[in-house]
Structure 1
Amino acid sequence: MKTHIVPAILMTLATFVLLVVVYPLIVWGIAQFAPEKGRGETIAVNGKVVGFAKVGQKFTADNYFWSRPSAVEYNAAGSGGSNKGPSNPDYLAQVQARIDTFLVHNPTVPKSAIPSELVTASGSGLDPHLSPQGAEVQVARIAKVRNLPEDKVKELVKTHTEGPFLGMFGPSKVNILALNIALDQMK
């Protein structure tokens, strides 16, 4: 019996030290070479942190570009999707409510022109980006509310559009927090 218990206890202690001490120290050490030392890329305005570059935020005011809906209310501690299938009646009602709300606030946009990303949540529920089309469909509302020429708002979207990674991997995208900050800084 002693020949089995002592090795089991030693193996448990060795595994504990490896997984609870050594591995976290290695990951922490590698993170020290990452931007912001692994704490996440923050976005600051006038010295005050207003958000994270890689985490979506809720924007619903008419004078801002709206972000993609979140299944987790933009809670980075509990990211995830709704796990409701496309035929789930609750999910369909939620999407229809989002469409109706969007149309009320954007009366010049036909229903068929609403990009799906504006009425469906991403898999993580934290996506900070929209496609350029998702931002452009909101230009008329924002220009009207802010009393700006539509061309200036369209140009702002264009300058904040990031191309695909290395010019070929993934879609073009617009970070909504960065775009809204730039919108606030427009004169």
Structure 2
Amino acid sequence: MKKYLWPSIKLTLILIVVLGGLYPLFLSAVAKLANGKGDGVKVMHNGRVVGYENIAQNFSDDKYFQPRPSTVNYNAAGSGGSNKSAGNPDYLKTVQERIDTFMVHNPDVKKSEIPVELITASASGLDPHLSPSGALVQVSRIAKARGISPEKLKELIKNNTQGPVLGLFGVSTINVLKLNIALDDMK
């Protein structure tokens, strides 16, 4: 037994030092090299911080593009999904309520035209991005609420769409906070 006990204790101490000390320090150092220096990328507007690039915010007013629903009420202190299966009755009820709410605010849109991202929450509940189709389906509502032509809104969406990384990896996305800032800045 002594033959195995001492090596086990040594290995445990080594792993505590490496995984509990050196590895977190290494990750912190790498994060300091990234945008935002490990503190997140702040979105500035008119000289003040209005949010963070990778954390969604709730926009419920009809004159704004609305993000994906959030199971954590857009609270970055505790991200997480609902963890309910696609066949769960409570989950299906929540999705139906989201569809009904969307249809009330977007009467020009058919139920079959609603992108799934606008009625389902992301895994973190904090996804700040929409697909171009998720933004385009909201154009009619925003055009009416703001008195702006749909063509101008479509151009705004096009100008705020980020393509896949290196043109290959991922899909085209739009940061909803940045899109809404650009929308407010339209003359």
TM over 0.5: yes
Deviation at 1:7, TM superposition (A): 6.6
Question: Secondary structure, in 3 states, of the residue corresponding to 2:44?
Answer: strand
Match of 1:157 in 2: 157
Give the RMSD, CA atoms, in angstroms. 1.9
Q: Distance in 1 between matches of 2:44 and 2:66?
A: 20
Deviation at 1:2, TM superposition (A): 8.7
Match of 2:94 in 1: 94
Alignment of 1:174 with 2:170, yes or no, is: no
User: Aligned pair in 2 of structure 1 residues 6, 68: CA closer, same or farther (>3 Å)?
Assistant: same
Runs of 4+ deviating beyond 4 Å: 1-14
TM-score, normalization: structure 1? 0.90
In the alignment, residue 142 of structure 2 is paired with which amino acid? I
User: Aligned pair in 2 of structure 1 residues 138, 13: CA closer, same or farther (>3 Å)?
Assistant: same
Return 5+ residue gaps in structure 1 as ranges: none
Q: Distance in 1 between matches of 2:19 and 2:173?
A: 38
TM-score, normalization: structure 2? 0.90
Q: Distance in 2 between matches of 1:96 and 1:2?
A: 62
Q: Distance in 2 between matches of 1:184 and 1:5?
A: 66
Q: Distance in 2 between matches of 1:117 and 1:79?
A: 17
The size of the alignment, in residue pairs, is 187
Q: Distance in 1 between matches of 2:72 and 2:54?
A: 15
Return 5+ residue gaps in structure 2 as ranges: none
Question: Secondary structure, in 3 states, of the residue corresponding to 1:32?
Answer: helix
Q: Distance in 2 between matches of 1:145 and 1:160?
A: 20
Q: Which moved more, 1:91-100 or 1:17-26?
A: 17-26
Q: Distance in 1 between matches of 2:16 and 2:167?
A: 45
Alignment of 1:70 with 2:70, yes or no, is: yes
Once the two structures are superposed, what CA deviation does each residue of 1:45-85 show, in whole Å capped at 9, x if it has no partner?
12211111111111111010010001222222322221111
**Seq. identity, %:** 58
